[in-house]
Amino acid sequence: MANNTNMAYMNGNENHLSNGIYSYHTTEKIMKKKAKWNIRVSEMSKKTFNPIRAIVDSMNMDPNPKKPMIALSIGDPTVFGNLPTHDAVLKAMKDAVDSGKFNGYAPSIGYQSSREVVAKFYSQPDALLEAKDVILCSGCSQAIELSIAVLANPGQNILIPRPGFSLYKTLALSLDIQIKLYDLLPEKGWEIDLKQLESVIDDKTACIIVNNPSNPCGSIFSKEHLQKIIAVAARNCVPILADEIYGDMVFQGNKFYSMAPLSSSVPILSCGGLAKRWLVPGWRLGWILIHDRNNIFGNEIREGLVRLSQRILGPCTIVQGALESIMNSTPKKFFSSTLSFMKANADICYEALSTVPGLRPVRPSGAMYLMVGIDIESFPEFEDDVEFTMRLISEQSVFCLPAKCFEYPNFFRVVLSVPKEMMTEACNRIREFCEQHYHHSYSNGFA
């Protein structure tokens, strides 16, 4: 009988509970079973972590009170207000709100019309796109998440660049997918060590992530290099996830090649978004472009992406509604002036730091970043890049991310989107800091 009442209670059957005796017994029984609260955090949440947070939280972040803080660490180009998006982009968004047409649910992969706009914008003669090849996502981050999740099972592995954007690792590990790192070579303009890349591929490798242009390196791969990467993927029958969020963000004199038109056999998921090029990271609109000329992904991968998109029902509809105007009415001049700005800051930073004892900046060709090597032997007070950057904060109030955040030792990353005066001042302070701590006798080949 106790069993019955218990079940009635569990089913929320009010009639049974209205019987005073039964409900009394039921309550008593449940109280005995549930001695105390025991709510445990899920295994998945425990496996989800952001390495940058972990490293930065471990750092002592007390700046020098005599110097105002300069943060060259934040990969958000909007924080200082010096790089606003274009007025046409803002107007598109306002019009989308005012139309009243974009307040309901869209299909989980995005409105057909918005997907057509993206397909048209990114279609190339050797890599045609239609609306059916476009999945709209909540930022490029979600595009990457869906792409990893559709290609890899728990226990499989994905290949990611070192140094590289930390999100790949965060997403993979939370899905129980292993990561394997392949090396980028600073002395070769951060090209991939192709032999080493191929050597880490095994029968459980589900995809190779290629990030071009690169965060944190600011490097751009040549067409020839991209073809060699594709050849490695082709030989091993491994698909490519191309993180092309900085696509077309290259300094004058350089050219960006997206991977898809260069690949005749390897299927490619190309991830992108509005965040960086249109300078609106908070709007959370990204996309996956499915390039599958030889029908290797087939319907299975497409349908898998559609199923995965149903978990959160797609990105914000207002931005989707504004997308056609955003893509078609942003003047080319807007993009080129953003890039001239980044290039000018890159030049200031590179020129200033290349004559600083113990530092080795690597000149970038695009995106918004510059990596600086630290000849750590020349700074005997500091064990590694984390300690170096930490002391740089406490003495000079300049914050650069240690490249440990990108799985790379003895470098730090400078963000180029800060106002020019800030860049100049930060470089002066970095020089002063290095001159104070550099020990000539420890140097090996550094003047």
List residues binding ligand PLP (CB under 6 A): 75, 139-141, 165, 211, 215, 243, 245, 273, 275-276, 281, 286
* Nearest distance in Å: CB 346, ligand PLP: 16
Cα-based distances in Å from 219 to 185, 305, 365, 412: 11, 30, 5, 15
| ω into 216 cis (within 30 of 0) | yes
| Residue 180 or 413 having the CB closest to ligand PLP | 413
Closest C-alpha among 225, 268, 262, 264 to residue 243: 268
**Residue 191, beta-bridge partner list:** 185
| Residue 151 or 275 having the CB closest to ligand PLP | 275
* Nearest distance in Å: CB 244, ligand PLP: 9
* Nearest distance in Å: CB 275, ligand PLP: 4
Q: Decide if 365 contacts 250 (C-beta within 8 A).
A: yes
Residue nearest to ligand PLP (CB): 139
Instruction: Check residue 406 and give left, alpha or beta (phi > 0: left; psi -120 to 50: alpha).
Output: alpha
Q: Where are the beta strands (DSSP E) in 239-319?
A: 240-243, 268-273, 286-291
| Residue 243 or 375 having the CB closest to ligand PLP | 243
Closest C-alpha among 338, 328, 335 to residue 95: 328
* Nearest distance in Å: CB 143, ligand PLP: 8
* Nearest distance in Å: CB 283, ligand PLP: 9
| Residue 219 or 378 having the CB closest to ligand PLP | 219
| Residue 368 or 390 having the CB closest to ligand PLP | 368
Sign of CA dihedral 257, 260, 266, 268: positive
* Nearest distance in Å: CB 272, ligand PLP: 8
Q: Decide if 197 contacts 231 (C-beta within 8 A).
A: no
| Residue 74 or 231 having the CB closest to ligand PLP | 74
* Nearest distance in Å: CB 125, ligand PLP: 26
CA distance 21 to 352: 83
Say which residue the tokens 């943060």 belong to: 71
| Residue 141 or 330 having the CB closest to ligand PLP | 141
* Nearest distance in Å: CB 288, ligand PLP: 12
| Residue 8 or 275 having the CB closest to ligand PLP | 275
What is the number of H-type helices and E-type strands within the chain?
16, 14
Q: Which two tokens stand for residue 133?
A: 């090849």
| Residue 271 or 376 having the CB closest to ligand PLP | 271
* Nearest distance in Å: CB 20, ligand PLP: 57
Count of C-beta atoms within a 10 Å radius of residue 384: 16
Q: Decide if 77 contacts 83 (C-beta within 8 A).
A: yes
Q: Which two tokens stand for residue 349?
A: 């930073």
* Nearest distance in Å: CB 397, ligand PLP: 25
The three-class DSSP label of residue 126 is: coil
| Residue 165 or 251 having the CB closest to ligand PLP | 165
**Residue 158, beta-bridge partner list:** 179, 207
Say which residue the tokens 């998109």 belong to: 309
